[in-house]
Amino acid sequence: MSNPKKKAVNNSTPWQKFESAMRQIVSVPHAEIKAHLDAEKEAKKLKRTRKSKYAAFRAVNSKG
């Protein structure tokens, strides 16, 4: 027994698929997106590169 909804999705036009995807994207609450972006931003801030470590070391230990 096949699902009638799946058949409708398989026979949909590219525009209908696009519209469906856009509706799913827009349905995500702004607060949820903002929280995820803030978490990524914080993780990037904590991650230091080797170059920045050397620069920080030189700035603290400079003789000039």
What is the Cα–Cα distance from 46 to 42, expressed in whole angstroms?
A: 6
pTM of the model as a whole: 0.42
What is the Cα–Cα distance from 53 to 31, expressed in whole angstroms?
A: 34
Number of H helices, E strands in the chain: 4, 0
Return phi, psi of residue 47, to 5°.
-80, 120
**pLDDT tens digits for the chain (64 residues)?**
455 555 555 678 999 999 999 999 899 999 999 999 999 998 887 776 677 777 777 878 876 5
